[in-house]
Amino acid sequence: MAQLSPRRGLLPALLCAGLLALSPALLPAATPQPATDHQVKAVFVYNFTHFVEWPAESFAAPDAPFVIGVLGGEDVATQLEEAVRGERVDRHPLQVRRYGSAAEVSECHILFIDHDSAQQLAGVLARLGRGTLTVSDVEDASRRGVMIQFATRNSRIRLLINVESARMAGLTISSNLLRPAEIVRTAAAN
């Protein structure tokens, strides 16, 4: 695999690869249009499956589904369903589950928490066990314990990564994902 420039190459490469994997129905051939915010987030979430290492005990069986949960974020969930259709991570078929509330969240390998569910963030983080990568676009989510936060700066999505939270959950994030990201720590409780 070719080496990517640490700051310039990885995120655009992730985005391009993911957008190319989206179905033609999502990106009409006749009139090329820029990807929507929901498509970009879905592509990133899908690609995180390749840049994070889960412990073997995260899966009940060698071919158990790799579950991506979405709390709120119906548009992101729809885009993710299109992106993962027929895809696998190792021997694990990818599956998307939609959750309407923190109480509905069950075991999953990645959980995207939409900004519309910001008020449920603390409750859902308290419910999760080890082995779940948390991703959100809620403001300041990474400082509140979410592992990967989408932050929009200068009209571009940036990744804020809380390595400490990931490590506590038993997850290892690839240095290829960490290099272009901003590393943050959980804020001290007052």
pLDDT in tens, 51-70: 999 998 899 898 999 999 99
Q: Could you tell me the two tokens for 177? A: 């994902």
> 17-34, pLDDT tens digit by residue?
444 444 444 444 555 677
Can you give the residue ranges of every domain in the chain? 10-176
Q: What is the pTM of this model?
A: 0.82
Q: Cβ of 104: how many Cβ atoms within 10 Å?
A: 12
* Helices H / strands E in the chain, number of each: 6, 10
CA distance 140 to 146: 9
Which of 2.60.40, 3.30.70, 1.10.10, 3.40.50 would CATH assign to domain 10-176?
A: 3.40.50
- Sheet with strand 88-89: strands edge to edge: 88-89, 92-99, 66-71, 110-113, 133-136, 148-153, 156-161, 182-183
Predicted confidence (pLDDT) at residue 110 exceeds the cutoff of 90: yes
Strands 133-136 and 110-113: parallel
